[in-house]
Structure 1
């Protein structure tokens, strides 16, 4: 095991378990800081303000009515993909910490206590400028999309919907105060099969993403933090509405 010291910031979930399993097996994970979820009412109010009531309602119909069906539809595929990553569960770890928020002063205290070489982020809310400015080591994030073209959520799915397979992939980038706008360190693409759908694309991305993490961590260890300029346009994506999903599934065959 490499003695490179890492703290992980995460919100939990399948993708974060994949990342934690990789880090735990290959580096010295000092602590795992679990971000608390943003209250649903707060999140919905923010989305309505940004996107409008009609679109948010249609997104909720998709997430509550369609996503459970997609999870069931892909249950065997999900089980197969996740099987190699079940040995090191985040929530079985004695290293976990639960601050009120990833952006609380407690997070800074934990980082200062352990003095890591690197922070790895996966699946948290937007990290505040205050936290970023308070941490004196690199902070990197694994994002399930090719940035800056597919910022936000479900970048792989949206790339397929856009007939943009060459940009269906995953990115590891430096953290800055924006939404997936930090300098790119590594990117790789995925190749979904007919057995995959909206629920499994992110798992494929996370599996490929640990390769990006390995490359990025090696760059940082060697002091070669050179970002990639891929000259792609920048766009922020959200969850599909139920109507968007049905259109892309039955017209374009994107599951």
Structure 2
């Protein structure tokens, strides 16, 4: 029996490195297609168009005054999490890599059709266009750092804690559709941050909790036993980056 063709479709970054090594240990990854990141100028323009200058200015202040110092101060905690869960963040092997400008480019579609994957695992990309999802006849799976559909978008663990909603502070494995974290739910799990954790370590805890579920979902997809789970009760909402004011207001619930 031939090895399964598992293809990772991702943006560059530590979470992609960790995800690759976990899947490669479990199955052997066939290829990784990595897109170029969206430029900061483009991201800023899109955010301003969507949220307005005042909100975006508050988000920038949060990043500069809170997130970056927290990241620097949390290196030991992040290393402890990686060690406790066996997360390997070594660089991606060049032998497995194909680089494209965008996951929605003709080049990416051509690569997917050439590779004919059994499963595509998505991580940290742009919103994937329907034409890409329909280019090959296999499931696309994503690990989302939040409990969907209640905490779609970014920083789902942080926002659950900020809303005093520990019962929905977790991670989701879901099918990818053309929406933002709106695909069918395959598996979900909660995380339990300690006093040592903060905004910059929640995503790593979510990744650690999500990887075993992702491996299970990939195995189910290969076996043809993938089943969707009912969505948790609540209002679906798309969350963005916190502003400095929001963070300070919520600090007694989420660090």
Q: TM-score range by the shorter chain?
A: over 0.9
Cα shift readout 1:144-193 (whole Å, capped 9, x = no counterpart): 00000000000000001111111111001001000000000010111111
Deviation at 1:89, TM superposition (A): 2.8
Count, aligned residues = 251
Q: 2:117–2:136: 8 Å Cα contact kept in structure 1?
A: no
Structure 1 residues 44 and 159: alpha-carbon distance in aligned structure 2, compared to 1, 3 A threshold: same
Q: Corresponding residue for 2:10?
A: 10
Q: Corresponding residue for 2:192?
A: 191
Normalising by the residue count of structure 1, what TM-score does the alignment of the two structures yield?
A: 0.94
Which residues in structure 2 correspond to 1:101-116 (within 5 Å)?
Answer: 101-116=102-117
User: Which structure 2 segments of 5+ residues have no match?
Assistant: none
Aligned equivalents of 1:205, 1:248: Cα separation in 2:
20
Aligned equivalents of 1:179, 1:230: Cα separation in 2:
15
Cα shift readout 1:51-84 (whole Å, capped 9, x = no counterpart): 1110011101111221111102211101222343
Cα shift readout 1:28-60 (whole Å, capped 9, x = no counterpart): 211111121112111111111111110011101
Q: Corresponding residue for 2:166?
A: 165
User: In structure 2, the residue corresponding to 1:28 is in which secondary structure?
Assistant: coil
Aligned equivalents of 2:10, 2:49: Cα separation in 1:
26
Aligned equivalents of 1:189, 1:66: Cα separation in 2:
25
User: In structure 1, the residue corresponding to 2:29 is in which secondary structure?
Assistant: strand
Aligned equivalents of 1:87, 1:241: Cα separation in 2:
29
Aligned equivalents of 1:253, 1:138: Cα separation in 2:
37
Q: Corresponding residue for 2:48?
A: 48
Q: Corresponding residue for 1:37?
A: 37
User: In structure 1, the residue corresponding to 2:19 is in which secondary structure?
Assistant: helix
Structure 1 residues 207 and 93: alpha-carbon distance in aligned structure 2, compared to 1, 3 A threshold: farther
Cα shift readout 1:66-123 (whole Å, capped 9, x = no counterpart): 1111102211101222343336532x34111111111111111211222111000011
User: Which structure 1 segments of 5+ residues have no match?
Assistant: none
Q: 1:14–1:203: 8 Å Cα contact kept in structure 2?
A: no
Structure 1 residues 116 and 98: alpha-carbon distance in aligned structure 2, compared to 1, 3 A threshold: same
Q: 2:32–2:96: 8 Å Cα contact kept in structure 1?
A: yes
Q: 1:145–1:169: 8 Å Cα contact kept in structure 2?
A: yes
Structure 1 residues 93 and 26: alpha-carbon distance in aligned structure 2, compared to 1, 3 A threshold: farther
